[in-house]
Amino acid sequence: MSSTTVSTSTAASGAAERDQISRPPPRRIKGAGNGSRPWLGLLYLLPALVVYVLVVIVPAGQGVWLSFFHWDGVTRATWAGFGNYTGFFSDPTLREAVTHTLYFILFFSVLPIALGLLSAALASRKNVRGAAVYRSVIFLPQMLTPAVTAVVWKRIYAPNGPINSVLRDIGLGGLARGWLGDYTWALPALGIAGTWAAFGLCMVLCISGMQAIPTELYDAARVDGAGAIREFFTVTLPGLRGTLSVVLTLTVLGAIRVFDIVWLTTRGGPGISTITPTIVLYQRAFANPDIGAAAAIGVVLAVVSLIVTLVIVRLSDSEAR
């Protein structure tokens, strides 16, 4: 449940950026509540806290612990030290998966943000009629469950699907293929499906961010004779810094962990040409149990996620100064 979370915090920091006179220090914990009834507060928190500890904190701790063992889920576990972690360098499957993550960051994060930004800029111009319709249409894929997205794109890329029909009709039948079964093309094909699914959210968040930009800034830019493009780069883009760091965090984290769409279309294949770290984790954990190795992947994903979040937040903060 992370999508809106970050959006709130950063949009708030965006607000802080706007009144630049004094940048209030983060008052996360200190300012919370009046603190006069802390025991009562604990009582209110307790039910949620118990469930949270049971489902998240304890298993997370166990995951770290397990990652230092070799264990097949049945026989006695043996100490592995950092053996499961060195797999990231020595295991060709895992190395391949990590490489693919970079592709997924391009297709699930960079491209959707670029497209989302473009369509948000277009849809939120003044006097655009039917902007709401465009927005709903572009947001549509975001609402679909990954199981459905997978069905859709399997059809589009099928040997007798629309892409191949068009290729055959224009005399390029030689290029037609089952795109998701092709060693070279499966990965970019999946990437495009991911871009399609993700950029609606990017657009909606960008539009929200743009609505917070004071219209006087646009008027001023117009008076200065700025065209649509210069206006975008001098007013819109700087005003969106907070929003963009949110969107970037969300999508990059999504790209690092991608599972559903890949698992439901190619299962990481053909061969291992579309495998992702989470698929390796799933296979190690359940198909052919090497639970320590699976746990190690989980721990590395957590560490990378935290680092990515921190770096993006830090970057957007330092640019703001």
Taking CB under 8 A as the criterion, which residues in 200-219 touch other proteins?
200, 204-205, 207-208, 211-212
145 binds other proteins (CB under 8 A): yes
Minimum CB distance to other proteins smaller for 118 or for 176: 118
Note whether 67 and 84 are within 8 A (CB): yes
Tally Cβ neighbours within 10 Å of residue 301: 17
| Contact window for other proteins (CB under 8 A) among 30-38, 87-95, 96-104, 170-178 | 30-38
| CA distance readout (Å), 78 to 18, 47, 83, 90 | 56, 36, 11, 20
Q: Select the residue interacting with other proteins from 77, 106, 110, 118 (CB under 8 A).
A: 118
Residues 300-319 that bind other proteins (CB under 8 A): 301-302, 305-306, 309
CB of 288 to other proteins, least distance (A): 14
CB of 90 to other proteins, least distance (A): 21
Written as one string, the DSSP assignment of 159-174 is TTSHHHHHHHHTT-GG
CB of 228 to other proteins, least distance (A): 6
Q: Which residues contact 304 (CB under 8 A, 6 or more apart)?
A: 256
93 binds other proteins (CB under 8 A): no
C-alpha 252: how far from its chain's center?
Answer: 4
Q: Select the residue interacting with other proteins from 52, 82, 183, 233 (CB under 8 A).
A: 52
Note whether 301 and 101 are within 8 A (CB): no
Q: Residue 170 has which token pair? A: 């224009």
Where do the H-state alpha helices sit in the chain?
Answer: 3-18, 38-52, 58-66, 83-90, 92-105, 111-123, 131-143, 146-156, 162-169, 186-211, 215-223, 228-231, 237-239, 241-256, 260-265, 277-282, 291-320
| Contact window for other proteins (CB under 8 A) among 75-83, 89-97, 103-111, 251-259 | 251-259
Number of residues that bind other proteins (CB under 8 A): 110
34 binds other proteins (CB under 8 A): yes
Q: Select the residue interacting with other proteins from 80, 213, 297, 312 (CB under 8 A).
A: 297
| Contact window for other proteins (CB under 8 A) among 10-18, 83-91, 167-175, 176-184 | 10-18
76 binds other proteins (CB under 8 A): no
Q: What is the CA radius of gyration of the chain?
A: 23
Residues 152-171 that bind other proteins (CB under 8 A): 152-156, 158, 160-162
Note whether 68 and 299 are within 8 A (CB): no
Q: Select the residue interacting with other proteins from 117, 190, 247, 299 (CB under 8 A).
A: 299
CB of 274 to other proteins, least distance (A): 17
* Nearest-angstrom CA–CA distance, 125 and 131: 9
